Amino acid sequence: MKRILLLAAAALSLAACKQKPAAQLPPHPDWTYNSVMYEVNIRQFSPEGTFAGVEAQLPRLKDLGVDILWLMPMYEIGTEGRKGTLGSYYAISDYKKVNPEFGTMADFEHLLAAAHKLGFKVILDWVANQTAPDNVWMTEKPAEFYERDAQGNAIWEYDWTDTRSLNYENEEVWWAQDDAMRFWLEKGVDGFRCDAAGEVPAEFWKGILPKMNADYPEIYLLAEAERDNLADPAETFDANYAWELHHLLNSLAQGRKTVADLKDYVARDAARFPKEAFRLTFTSNHDENSWSGTEFEREGAAANACAVLCFTLPGSQPLIYTGQEIGLSRRLEFFEKDPITDWSANEYTTFWKKLVDLKHGNPALAAGERGGALEYIDAPDGVIAFSRTVDGNKVIVLANFGVAPTDSPVIPGEAKESNDNRPAAETGGTPFRNLASAPVSVDLPLDGEYTDWFTGAKVSGTFTATLAPGEYVVLTR
């Protein structure tokens, strides 16, 4: 339980002294609260697609300002049933070896050391739900390590034919996973993003993570899940994915949802998850980019406004995916080499840097229990307007998502988690309602002088924001 468990033994021997209550201790490492994560797709990050190719770009990522580098799976992957030419990163043949496509173990260690030297934290993508069919455990471990059919064949989920499902009714699997994760923690990695965490029994995570947190109190743990039983940072993960918000933002941009739906989500999310729980927020990631499309395909002219909300809503720990910082407008191949070759800075680079600076420079936007409460501001239909305040630091956010035309009714239905994390209604071409809406003006009486974050202008008195569909304003004090 992170720092809480580390103090438990000392508390027993110091019973005569008045000990600080554990509940007052921060549930997350201090470095996480205002951090921004960057997902590194190693295969597509450089023409070489190697650890060295990532290392060469660390200064550029440092200039972008991100704090946590999430490396997509970099372990040795299987050849049996491999999809495409190069295979899936998520079909692992050996948890303790690196993918030779990316380089050697020494190359990985060199990248890790270089990243730490520049002040980055580095987390690895951990794939606990399944392995490749030719994982070393298939021959090294008993048959009951894997789920099997009546004929004794190891089975897989969904269309993941290049994988085999581990059997978590066998607790020996738990400790094999724990051992493999600790192998990398001993090398100095700073935590894990746990793939398909909701597909694995919660009892497994609750069985191994408290002791892991106690032994490595500064690690960060992210669940690719949206489960309230995996959201207590004292017991399991620092953060869960905000999948519902992601799908809602797509639908909001497309005219399928309204600002009222967004407000309803914020209220339900606050009621469902503890205030201490971080929520990973994003407009893209490797799954969304490759299978659902770029943020521009899904969110159109409102893509930047959606990103602003991902950096400013309560609980948010924002993510930037490979290529977003240059406005990458194509889907990256998943099983083939498809590198980004031109990383030239442009207006998108400026936009994302401003967002990262916004998160770093405003305590009101801290994730978890340190962030400011959300207070809504009256605004015209289609405009979301709110403020957050902590100790004199105040951030005001306005974003215009337009009003759905009367002949384009909102399509009902909530986003749901699935094997590819996409609600069926999001696939396919959908007209964006924000393209059909007119600009609106919002008159905002200000309680002092503010800075318009994206223009640098100083404003006070009654501030009037005229916002076309997809436009936004962020004011800070």
The residue ranges of DSSP E strands in 34-127, in sequence order, are 37-40, 68-71, 75-77, 92-98, 121-127
pLDDT tens for the 477 residues of the chain, in order: 443 333 333 333 333 333 333 345 579 999 999 999 999 999 999 999 999 999 999 999 999 999 999 999 999 999 999 999 999 999 999 999 999 999 999 999 999 999 999 999 999 999 999 999 999 999 999 999 999 999 999 999 999 999 999 999 999 999 999 999 999 999 999 999 999 999 999 999 999 999 999 999 999 999 999 999 999 998 899 999 999 999 999 999 998 999 999 999 999 999 999 999 999 999 999 999 999 999 999 999 999 999 999 999 999 999 999 999 999 999 999 999 999 999 999 999 999 999 999 999 999 999 999 999 999 999 999 999 999 999 999 999 999 998 765 444 433 333 333 333 333 334 444 556 544 568 999 999 999 999 999 999 999 999 999 999 999 999 999
Query: What pLDDT is attached to residue 360?
Result: 98
Number of helices followed by number of strands (H, E) in the chain: 13, 20
Collapsed DSSP state (helix, strand, coil) of residue 164: strand
pTM for this one? 0.91
Tally of CB atoms within 10 A around 269: 18
Q: What is the pLDDT of residue 404?
A: 62
Strand-pairing partners, residue 221, are 192
Side-chain-facing half-sphere of 437: CA atoms under 13 Å: 29
Q: What angle do CA 420, 423, 424 make, to 5 degrees?
A: 100
- The full set of domains in the chain, from first to last, is 26-372 (3.20.20.80), 383-413+428-476 (2.60.40.1180)
| Contact between 361 and 389 (Cβ < 8 Å) | no
CA 471 to chain centre: 24
Cα end-to-end distance, the chain, whole Å: 36
- With residue 63 as reference, give the H or E element that holds it: helix 58-64
pLDDT at residue number 403: 75
| Distance between CA atoms of residues 105 and 92, nearest Å | 16
Helix axes 347-361, 303-312, angle to 10 degrees: 20
Do residues 315 and 279 make contact, with C-beta atoms less than 8 angstroms apart?
A: yes
pLDDT for position 411: 37
